[in-house]
Structures are given as C-alpha cells and as structure tokens.
Structure 1
Amino acid sequence: MTLQISQSQRYNYLADDDEDDRQMFHEALLEVNSNAVLTQAEDGKELLEILSKNPKPLPEVIFLDINMPKIGGFECLEQIKQNKKLNKMPIIMLSTSSDPLTINRALQLGANFYAVKPSTFEDIKLLIKKVLQMDCLSIQNDKQKFRLA
C-alpha cells in the first residue's frame, strides 16, 4: 500500500541540537512533501524565541528533541503548553530513549506523540509520513496519546 500525502505547503518546526539530524530530517521531509516548509531551531531556547514572535502561519506540528542544551525538550514543552496561543499545537517528542518513564513524562507534560528517533533515512521518512497523515488536532481534542514506533 502506498501512502499518499497532500502536496500543499505544510509548515513544521524542528528543534534538535544535532545539525546532522536536522539536515537529515529536512531532506526526508522534502522527499515526503516537496512543498513542506521546515523551520529549524538548535535548542528549546531558540524555538521559544521563534514562537514568541507570533510567526504566521504557526506550524502544524513541532518535532521536539528531548536532550538539548540551554532549554531542553521537556522544559520547552512545558512552556509551550502553558502559553494560551500555542498550547493546542501538536508536539511530537523525539528521543533516542525508549525508556517508559521518559515516554510517560513526555505524554504527561502534554506531548501528543512520542517517537524514538529513527536511525535510518527511510525510517525518518516513514515517521514523517505517519505524522503528516494524522489529524493531530482531532486526536488532541479526544485526549488520546500515542507512541509512534
């Protein structure tokens, strides 16, 4: 079965301190949807600064690494979820950890999804396809939480 993705412009943000990971994610995103727009931040502090400027349009999804300098993913997630203008924004937490305590903490803090960082380019593309096909707002309104494998 082939996954079909809408080719309209999709605005996504990625906060990750690893430049190679950001580059690979960007390339995978463009292969999934050549019209996608990705705003990148090197850490949670930079992401919060970008979001504080009320960008138009807001991202459809934020991909947020957990382990970052300055402001890490958990703290960044908490600040986003406390902001009335941003708290409905779907957030996918990314980490190399598959520890259930880490996953539960991310979900308890308000992440919509948790994904163990894929190790191959093809797996990154599959993750992005899954996320872009989801109706994150409907899922969030139903208070459902998922772990993306």
Structure 2
Amino acid sequence: MDFQILLADDDEDDCMFFREALEELSLCATLKTVNNGVELMNFLENNLLNLPQMLFLDLNMPRKSGAECLSEIKQNVKFKHLPVIIYSTSSNIDVMDQLYGEGAHYYIRKPADFSNLKSVIRRTIDLILQKDVLPSTREEFVIQP
C-alpha cells in the first residue's frame, strides 16, 4: 500500500533526517515537506482531493506555529480527520496535554539518535495504519523510542 506523508518543519536538517529515516524503513510512502505554517495550510487547501494519510507537525515554525495549524486543521471539516502527529523538541507536559485536547493523534519528541528516529517513525506509522485513524488515548499519546 502506497501512502503519502506530509512533514511540516522549518529545520532543513530535521527534514533531511526524517526523509533518510523513512527511506531506510523501506516503506511504500511518499514524503512531501512544507517549511512553515502558512505553507502547510495552503498545501492542504490546494490538495483537498489528495490529502496525505498523516501529517508530522513541528510546533515551532515561522509565520504560523504548529499549534495554530493544529487548531485550524481540527476546526475545519475538510481536514479534521487528518491524523496529526506532533513532532517537536519540547517535552513540556502542559503543552502535550493542550495538544492532545486540541485533537493531535500522537506526540513524538524529536530523537537525537538516528535509530531512535527510525523506530518512532515506524511505530507511529504502524499505529496510524492499524487504528484506521482513531485518535490515541492520553496514555498512548507520547511515543517513546
């Protein structure tokens, strides 16, 4: 099964590592990237007939934050069923709770180790595909390597 993943992250190195990890996992997946929140929302609006199966969303982006994008996505009937995985360096529990309440499916803290990055990407994709887009429980929300 070929599926499409969208990564919204302004850090070029993080995008490159994510792409390399995904390639090493040998999944039948296509990765598209956008570099800020405005670009993300424009991409979604312009691809209504071909939305990705999942979105990995960085929180700290220019022009529009990941949290603002999550809120817009979950309030828009055209996008609200899109699984959103927060992909961030933050480990703030209050922020995680807020994002869970806003409708994010999972939360990944960006791992420094490449093998851990591959592991959390693989586990997250498997969970999204297995659950057929049902949101996680709060206990399952944070995915650890």
TM-score in same-fold range (> 0.5)? yes
Deviations 1:37-76 (A, max 9, x none): 0110001111111000125432111000001110110000
Partner of 2:52: 59
TM (norm. structure 2) is 0.89
Name the structure 2 match of 1:4.
Answer: none
* Number of the residue aligned with 2:33: 40
| One-letter identity of the residue aligned with 1:38 | L
The ranges of structure 1 where at least 4 consecutive aligned residues each deviate by more than 4 angstroms after the TM superposition are: none
Q: Taking every aligned residue pair, what percent have the same amino acid on both sides?
A: 37
Aligned to 1:12: 5
Cα RMSD after superposing both structures: 1.5
Alignment partner, residue 109 of structure 1 = 102
Using structure 1 for the length normalisation, give the TM-score.
Answer: 0.87
Give ranges in structure 2 of 5+ residues lacking alignment: none
Q: Which residue of 1 aligns with 2:134?
A: 139
Equivalent residue runs for 1:58-77 within 5 Å: 58-77=51-70
Which aligned pairs between 1:84-123 and structure 2 lie closer than 5 A?
A: 84-123=77-116
Structure 1 gap ranges (5+) = 1-7
What is the Cα deviation at residue 34 of structure 1?
Answer: 4.5
